[in-house]
Amino acid sequence: MKKLLLLKFLILFSLISSAQCLETLTFGGMHTLGQKSDGTLWGWGAAAYGNLETITIVEPNPIQVGTETDWDVVKAGKLNTFAIKDGTLWGAGSNQYGSLGVNSATQQFHSFQQVGTATNWMDVYPNSDFTLAIKTDGTLWAWGRNDYNQMGNSPNTADQLFPIQIGSDTDWVSAAGFHRTSFALKSNGTIWGWGSNISSVIEASSSTNLVLEPTQIGTTTDWVKMSIGLQHVLAQKSDGTLWSWGGGAGLGVGGSPTETNTPQQISTDKWSWFSAGGNTSYAIKEDGTLWVWGINSFGRLGDGTDINRFVPYQIGTENNWETVNAGFANAIMATKSDGTIWYWGGRNQYGEYGNGESFGATFILSPVMTDGICVDLTELGLDGNEKVDEIFSVFPNPAKDIITVQYELSSSDAELEIYDISGRSIINQSLRNYEGETKINTSRFHSGVYVIVFKRSNGGVWQQKIVIE
């Protein structure tokens, strides 16, 4: 048995060591993108709309996307791709409903087009038909489909071809949307929603199907992350617990209630990663185990069956899962701590598994590993959540007077810098040891959002948002 396990390990190590390894990863449901250490961008999957800068229908193997090597942020939507460099925002692929925001009714672009002329974009959150984005000044913007007031500005219009600001607040830190509903998180730990009120996901009213402007969900002020599904929301509190509201089997509360605007706690466990899909949910506990629940059509739960699950159900017994992402289609992508990338659900119709195949005959009911591709999890960014805790951790967050930064480096000589939301450097200090801890006095900081940037001498860069109360 020991020889067999050793052989399996050596085979796996050989596959990973010879694989095309990426340092970032983003999954839209029908295509995946990632960057190598040299900054080049690579992608695979559905490509018919130009989202991979090609004119082919599918790309079942990784191909280089463009020639740029200086993208700071890359995000995959359902049929389009967005990227940020030096504060400028660019988009390629489907422009249906104006979802690229390039002030054009042309339905698709096969090369990156600049979104306006602003140079202070911080992050972008694409979804199926519209897009949300946040600037470094904390303002929130949107464009694309607006038939259910997804833009948060009344009156609604059919299509919004260029970015418009949502309200006048300057304390937004992240956003997300699905189909016709938008949500955003503020620096004070509150979550706000607008647009379609399907399953009372924004307001507790069966007769209100449209919310015209950002409306706070409850009174809780310790939300730190969220993920939006077709008719439900998953959100995490600062204590690591996971909660849900809205409707459908994706709630994970055993079928009761079937619809609620009041967040329901999903067990007492603490979770390290989660993602909401179309009536499905996926989450990873702090112990590295993978759990799923919801409607099990098209193999989307990955448990090898077609049985619907109304409470969290564990997939296998492995405890080295790191990330999981539902995207905007039937396929699901997950990664493990050994750098392997896994997919399940759907039929790999668009080559979204990246394994050289497409248009499969049967649904994939269990996770399968894609050979020849790996990811360096120390630099992984997915759905706006930088996987930074492999390198350093920051606590408490939100903070008041003192923050503590703990770090562990693979090489010495690194730099820690803190920027305010306008991009102004507030603190800069060197870290000379391989590992350690440093405390930073934040009592003189104004309340708001700041970004900690961690730069290694060998070129590695990580960042994390922090909130000062």
Domains, the chain, ranges and CATH?
Answer: 20-390 (2.130.10.30), 392-468 (2.60.40.3880)
Angle at alpha carbon of residue 248, lines to 166 and 345, rounded to 5°: 95
pLDDT for res 101? 98
The answer to whether the CB of 362 falls within 8 A of the CB of 397 is no
Q: How far apart are CA 25 and CA 23, in angstroms?
A: 7
Q: How far apart are CA 262 and CA 211, in angstroms?
A: 17
Order of strands, sheet of 121-126, starting from the edge strand that comes earlier in the sequence: 121-126, 130-135, 140-145, 159-165
The pTM of this model reads 0.81
pLDDT for res 389? 41
Q: How far apart are CA 358 and CA 93, in angstroms?
A: 20
Please list, in sequence order, all residues whose beta carbon lies within 8 angstroms of the beta carbon of residue 431, skipping any fewer than 6 positions away.
407, 409, 413, 414, 415, 416, 438
3-state secondary structure of 76: strand
pLDDT for res 140? 97
- 469 residues of the chain, pLDDT tens digit each: 434 433 333 334 333 334 578 988 999 999 999 999 899 999 999 999 999 999 999 999 999 999 999 998 999 999 999 999 989 999 999 999 999 999 999 999 999 999 999 999 989 999 889 999 999 888 999 999 999 999 998 777 789 999 999 999 988 989 999 989 999 999 888 999 999 999 999 998 766 788 999 999 999 998 989 999 999 999 999 889 999 999 999 999 998 999 999 999 999 999 999 999 999 999 999 999 999 999 999 999 999 999 999 999 999 999 999 999 998 889 999 999 899 999 999 999 999 999 999 999 999 999 999 999 999 755 443 333 334 444 567 888 888 888 888 776 655 567 788 887 666 778 888 776 656 778 888 887 887 778 887 776 555 556 777 888 8
pLDDT for res 13? 38
